[in-house]
Amino acid sequence: MSTGDPHGEAVAASSRWQSLSAGRDSSPKRIDEFYACDVFDQRKMRERLPKNTFQAIIKTIESNSKFSTDDAEVIATAMKDWAVERGATHYTHWFQPMTGLTAEKHDSLVTPDGNGGVMYRLSGSNLIQGEPDASSFPSGGLRATFEARGYTAWDPTSPAFIVRGKNYATLCIPTAFVSWNGEALDKKTPLLRSIDALEKQAMRILKIFGTDFGVNSVGSTLGAEQEYFLVDRNLYFARPDLVSCGRTLFGLVPPKHQQLDDHYFGSIPPRVNAFMAEFEEELFRLGVPVQTRHNEVAPGQYEIAPLFESTNIACDHQAILMETLKKVAGRFGFFACLHEKPFAGVNGSGKHNNWALSTDTGVNLLDPQDETHTNTQFMTFLCAVIRAVHIHGDLLRATIAGASNDHRLGANEAPPAIISIFLGDMLTDLIDQLESGKPNRTLKGGELDLGARTLPALKRDSGDRNRTSPFAFTGNRFEFRAVGSTASVAWPNTVINTIVAESLDFIATNVEKSLSEDAKPEKRDQVVRKVLQGLIKEHKAIIFNGDNYAADWQDEAAKRGLPNLKTTADALPALQSSKVKTLFKKYKVLSNTELESRSEIFAEKYITEISIEAEQMASMARTMIMPAAIKHQRNIAEAVGATEGVGVDSSVLRGELEDFVEMVCVLKDRIESLEEVRIIADGQTMMQCEYCRDQIVPAMESLREIGDQLEAHVEAELWPMPVYSQLLTLR
Ligand code: ADP
Ligand code: MG
């Protein structure tokens, strides 16, 4: 493959951008003037719908009641009028199949009017239900290709939006995607079911405390921080591994990378900042509120954090965010790389899943407030999470498993594969008090005196942060930090919602058993504390406030009986356990067949990704690295010949040649070994996963080792692909 001079092209692309941007109006736009202008949200529905239709749809959103076909007709027309005014020509039922990406099939809003002209139309039934063929999405055995029928169903709780480009605008209607017999084929359906399950159980707890008054609904909230890399697009196209696998399969870490911590939170390069501004502008237009942008640890790595929202909308917005990120990056000559570990030797990327519980009246149920020891309701929700994570640590681990995240977990840059909870000093102290009786104090953070007269005294948090914990309490929410950067967050949140629902159910059932209707608050708190006390004794092993990267944590965790499922092949079987089947079935989130199909899909994805990588790697080694090495070998051989030809001793050079030839032989051997093992025999999927883990992955690692060694020896001019120092440096 000829790569031309990709680095030169990247420099040219970057200078083209520089000159372009020089002439651009650089003043930022006022966001309030266009915020959510491309979203058909409640504000627009109120403006455009007759009062009774608006009330019907709000009722549907708030209490899951159904609305009539007539209402659907009115809403569809209003939505269509709005979209057409904003330039839309097509609409699509937008959904999230099991690929983890989003799917869309556009239908025209335009139909002939019978009089030689055209009219715009969206019927009520077109709004509510779609029937894409969609037979090629993974279904994990839920249906065969010949049983192609799948339905999309409008999710009225997530607002429709318009995706636009230079000459197109498409109305996107968020939908759930199910099979002909109603089985979930997507990520949204189980998420919505888990939200219902969580709400039901959380309301029971509020009822116990008498705080349900005026509360219509309780749900989880989600803010998912997204890490990503930006790579020059021209360099990206010169790396077949980045193109087909999203990560580099070969590559030596340059002498200087992230050791000086000079990139982290550093000043954002202007070209990147300009990209971020346009990226965020698009998100704001789509009503995705974003909060934070910064440089991350590795060179070329960045982060965007949205403002948290209710989980269903936040999950849709996360999907929009990832799509928009990739799209806008292209305009600035970047490739946005979302892979968990694109470059060996520098940090990979994650997606910190900030999760909390909130009432529709805006009360965060995981907010400890000042005198936490008096807040039994908070302790109840906290303990429910502790129990849930302890019982289902293996499920949580399986939830975030995948070939790409395997490279990151446990590599001292992300949490290990052991799931534990960080609570911090204040809450740990509270849990200890609760275990031994009635809590009577709340540790305070106090003030920090900075020693300089002009600096203000700072209020110190009552607990520090712990960056190494996979599931950390961070003040008023839990941060599930092990989620991978490519992941759709719908699935992890489906799982968190469901396991917490189960524990809330457990607590509520036990409390209700021993509590009379007219019990006084003092008595009620006593009963609740007793249940929590038992719970803590049984589940406190999950709490770990120390360094999760430390080697001795592995031993300690084993003593505590916490699973350490290092790879996807180890983690996925958890999805087939009867504990997990019962959980999902009981809360009507996934039937046994739906769960089995998911477990099959995740396993197949792992196997397929590893096979693609193995094939890509062998091919690059054979067709790129080997020829470059041979040329280099010939150059040395010619130098030896020429040196000896003029009668000069060349024994040192000859030794060098011999060593190099040896390396080339090793390369050849390892290519052949990988080519041999990469063919996966037919068989049970779980056994194929184990085969990938035990045979293919080690063969890839050993091929990479020699490939990288050769990179360190072959003349730079001959190396057939852009190297890390080029990929990680933006110009
Ligand atoms: P850090 O990187 O320090 O953890 P960031 O500011 O980058 O913090 O991100 C914090 C994320 O947590 C944001 O997306 C924010 O919206 C989210 N968040 C804050 N409060 C809640 C909450 N109650 N529920 C869910 N997410 C929350
Ligand atoms: Mg952050």
CA dist 55 and 38 (Å) reads 22
Ligand 1 centroid – CA 26 distance (Å)? 30
In a domain, 16, yes or no: no
Tell me, yes or no, whether 389 and 513 share the same domain.
Answer: yes
Task: Say if residue 533 is in the same domain as residue 665.
Answer: no
- Whether residue 2 has pLDDT greater than 50: no
Among 308, 347, 422, 476, name the best residue to mutate to test ligand 1's pocket (greatest count of ligand atoms within 8 A of Cβ): 308
Domain final position from 185, 207, 233: 185
Beta-bridge mates of residue 150: 179
Nearest alpha carbon, ligand 1 atom 13:
223
Q: What's residue 11's pLDDT?
A: 61
Sign of CA dihedral 376, 379, 383, 384: positive
C-beta of 350 in contact with ligand 1 (< 6 A): no
Is 114 inside a domain boundary? Answer: yes
DSSP per-residue codes, 399-418:
HT--HHHHTTTTSSSS--SB
Q: How many structural domains does the chain have? A: 3
Q: Are residues 416 and 294 in the same domain?
A: yes
Question: Lowest mean pLDDT: which of 203-217, 256-270, 542-556, 682-696?
Answer: 256-270
* Bridge-based pairing state of the strands 90-94 and 168-179: parallel
Place of tokens 């769960």: 595
Amino acid 729 reads T
222 lines ligand 1 (CB under 6 A): yes
Would you tell me how many other CB atoms lie within 10 Å of the CB of residue 360? 14
- Where is the domain boundary, 137, 157, 185? 185
Q: Is 509 in the pocket of ligand 1 (CB under 6 A)?
A: no
Both 570 and 699 in one domain: the answer is no
The answer to whether 130 and 152 have CB atoms below 8 angstroms apart is: yes
Atom of ligand 1 nearest to the CA of 305: 14
Domain with 232 in it: what CATH number? Answer: 3.30.590.10
In this predicted structure, what is the pLDDT of residue 699? 98
Are 665 and 538 within one domain?
no
Q: What's 631's domain CATH number?
A: 1.20.120.1560
**Which of 66-75, 83-92, 420-429, 521-530 has the weakest average pLDDT?**
66-75
Three-point CA angle 151, 153, 156, nearest 5°: 170
* Candidate from 16-25, 159-168, 226-235, 589-598 with smallest mean pLDDT: 16-25
- Both 217 and 175 in one domain: the answer is no
Residues 290 and 203 in one domain: yes
Nearest ligand 1 atom, CA 355: 25
The verdict on 248 and 281 lying in the same domain is yes
371 vs 115, 205, 423, 448, 679, CA distance in Å?
73, 20, 17, 20, 61
Are 415 and 481 contacting, i.e. CB atoms less than 8 angstroms apart? yes
- Neighbouring CB atoms inside 10 A of 359's CB total 20
Q: What is residue 6's predicted lDDT score, i.e. its pLDDT?
A: 58
Residue with tokens 């051989």: 637
Residue 142, in any domain of the structure? yes
Helix-helix angle 592-620:578-586, to 10 degrees: 120
> What CA–CA distance (Å, rounded) separates 448 from 469?
25
The total number of residues shown for the chain amounts to: 731
Output the pLDDT for position 368. 92
Cross-strand pairs, 230: 336
Q: Is 182 left (phi over 0), alpha (psi -120 to 50) or beta?
A: left
Which ligand number lies closest to the CA of residue 356? 1
Count each helix (H run) and each strand (E run) in the chain, helices first: 25, 20
Under the banding of pLDDT at 50, 70 and 90, the label for residue 331 is very high
The span from the CA of 254 to the CA of 238, in Å, is 19
**Stated pTM of the model:** 0.94
Q: pLDDT (tens digit, 9 = 90+) per residue, 449-500?
A: 777 777 777 776 766 677 889 999 999 999 999 999 999 999 999 999 999 9
Query: Which of 363, 477, 483 for a ligand 1 pocket mutation test, highest count of atoms within 8 Å of Cβ?
Result: 477
Map residue 140 onto helix, strand or coil: coil
What was the pLDDT predicted at 5?
Answer: 63
Domain assignment present for residue 13? The answer is: no
Q: Which residue in this structure is represented by tokens 């249940």?
A: 531
pLDDT, residue 465, reads 73
Band the pLDDT of 242: cuts 50, 70, 90.
Answer: very high
Q: Is 353 in the pocket of ligand 1 (CB under 6 A)?
A: no
Residue 663 falls inside a structural domain: yes
Q: Which of 185, 207, 238 is the last residue of a domain?
A: 185
Same domain, 582 and 523: yes
Residues 224 and 350 in one domain: yes
142 burial (CB, 10 Å; 0-12 / 13-18 / 19+) is: buried
State pLDDT tens for residues 592-632.
999 999 999 999 999 999 999 999 999 999 999 999 999 99
CATH number where 95 lies:
3.10.20.70
**What integer pLDDT is reported at residue 144 of this predicted model?**
59
Instruction: Report yes or no on 595 lying in a domain.
Output: no
Report the relative pairing of strands 218-232 and 334-337 from DSSP bridges. Answer: antiparallel
Residue type, 609: E
Do 236 and 147 share a structural domain?
no
Give CA–CA dist 247/244, Å, rounded: 8
- Three-state DSSP state, 436: helix
- In the block, residue with structure tokens 């942060």: 465
Q: What is the DSSP letter of 146?
A: T
Mean pLDDT value of segment 558-577: 96
Q: What is the mean pLDDT of the chain?
A: 92
List the one residue out of 508, 482, 358 whose CA is nearest residue 421: 482
Mean pLDDT, residues 666-692: 96
Domain containing 676 equals 606-728
Ligand 1: which of 351, 354, 483 to mutate, judged by most atoms within 8 Å of the beta carbon? 354
Residue 123 covered by a domain? yes
Instruction: Tell me, using a 6 A CB cutoff, whether residue 124 lines ligand 1.
Output: no
The answer, yes or no, to whether any atom of ligand 1 lies below 6 A from the CB of 489, is: no
Partners of 447 in beta bridges: 459
Residue 138 counted as domain residue? yes
Residues 633 and 564 placed together within one structural domain of the fold: no
